[in-house]
Amino acid sequence: MKLNWTNCVLPIAAIFSFRMLGLFMLIPVFTIYAPNLMDATPALIGIALGSYGLSQGLLQIPMGLLSDRFGRKPILAVGLSLFVAGSLLGGVTNSIYGMIAARILQGMGAIGSVLIALMADLTPDEHRTKAMAVIGATIGLSFSIAMVISPTMTHYFGLSGIFYLTAILACFGLILVFGVVPTPVKEPFHLDSEVSPALLKPALKNPHLLRLNAGIFCQHFILTSTFFAIPILLQQQIEAGLLEKSWHFYLPLMVFSFLAMVPFIILAERKRMIKPIFVAAVLVIALCQTLLTVTYSYWLSICLLLFFYFIAFNFLEASLPSLVSRQASAASKGTAMGIYSSCQFLGIFAGGALAGFVYQSLNSRGLFAVNALISFLWLAIASFMNPYLYFSTLIIKSPKTDESEAIIQSKLLAIPGVVEATFIPEEKNVYLRLNHAEYKPGSVERVIATLSRKAR
């Protein structure tokens, strides 16, 4: 079946992008402008910065489950409406408590899992990985664009301008949901894309997945905490005449750190060096945070250390989802990714909230010291990572045959490179886990074709 780019993949990716762009635009400016709010303290600003991650992390999985019961588009409408309401409240509020409420309300529009389920409903199994890669790329692009345009936009329109723009983009998202994206004829459950309550406990007990979940928690804890202090430090450099505009710093930082990261991704995949490069990237983050504790007031130090930090950050951000997907069993991939996503948002909340309290007492030095401590803790966890398994998932239709499932499974597992075969009768699919070092493309299809011919 052909993949529908114009009516399905690109509009859903755009909805993701619209929503994340507004959230990302707050990162480089929030701690500069939030002190102007009534009753603002560093501790409360930190809570406001991270609070959307709390509601987002707690509601990510429940919203996906609700969409299985009530339909994708109704839950998307509720989620985007909550997001619009939170954005409008953020635009009109003049107090820090109103801002915290606005950010929590924004996070309650936790539609990421619903959008992924909708994508799975509308895309053929064989093209789903490609469609998800497009979503990942648009989110990464949104982050880079937001970091560059946000300081200039906030300079002219204030913090309220970002919230109003976010509300407008979310309204465009609603238009795309109901005006462009087709309504699925069926909304079946997809184990590779959705969370199954029955699989939550095994996924939470998997030590390899727990290490990766701890990793994404630490990654976004450190990012949010770092960008509590960095906007303030950049503002000091502007006032000292060492930097003219914030975007003069963010634009080359985003572009060149991304370009510098690409060779490491290629090396990790082609030479199968994912674990050593992954651990090295965590070490780079730990060293950057450690050095920032003593050199955060020097302009050259900020430039160099954040450049190396973002090389490592970009590599880890690209690698972690792939690692989770490949460490999870074929049938529990959706559940594993749901837990992973929740840990990511909870890391944002913890990083923002703790950064505010630490900064209030110990300023930037204490904040970077806490980040360094978290980084070295992550390094210890990462060093015990399972050696990278080059597995991937293949979803095939169950063969129409009189053979029992046990016999079909034994024949599939006899194929070199097939390490797992799980039948899902409700979907009429078989989820296969493949080791590409041993698997020859087309082997499974030939066995399925043989079984189907015998049935005739």
Residues 414, 405 contacting (CB under 8 angstroms): no
Helix/strand/coil for 431: strand
Q: Tell me which amino acid residue 79 is.
A: G
195-388 and 391-455, same CATH topology: no
Residues 254, 245 contacting (CB under 8 angstroms): no
Alpha carbon distance 44, 352 (integer Å): 10
What Å distances lie between residue 207 and 39, 76, 216, 451, CA to CA? 43, 33, 15, 37
The per-residue pLDDT string of the chain (456 residues; one tens digit each, 9 = 90 and over) reads 455 666 788 899 899 888 888 889 999 999 999 999 999 999 999 999 999 999 999 999 999 889 888 889 999 999 999 999 999 999 999 999 999 999 999 999 988 888 888 888 888 766 777 777 888 888 888 998 999 999 999 999 999 999 999 999 999 999 999 998 888 877 667 766 778 888 888 889 889 899 999 999 999 999 999 999 999 999 999 998 888 889 999 999 999 999 999 999 999 888 888 899 999 999 999 999 999 999 999 999 999 999 999 999 999 998 888 888 878 776 787 888 899 999 999 999 999 999 999 999 999 999 999 999 999 999 999 998 876 566 777 778 877 776 677 777 888 888 888 888 877 776 677 888 887 778 888 888 888 877 776 655
Give the domain ranges of the chain. Answer: 1-192, 195-388, 391-455
For residues 310, 245, 151, 41, the Cα torsion angle rounded to the nearest 10 degrees is 90
CATH architecture assigned to 1-192: Up-down Bundle (1.20)
- Tell me which H or E stretch contains 78: helix 72-92
Q: Tell me which amino acid residue 443 is.
A: S
The topology (CATH level 3) of 195-388 is Growth Hormone; Chain: A; (1.20.1250)
CATH architecture assigned to 391-455: 2-Layer Sandwich (3.30)
Residues 321, 212 contacting (CB under 8 angstroms): no
Largest CA distance in the chain: 81
CB burial of 366-377 (b: ≥16 within 10 Å; e: otherwise) equals bbbbbbbebbbe
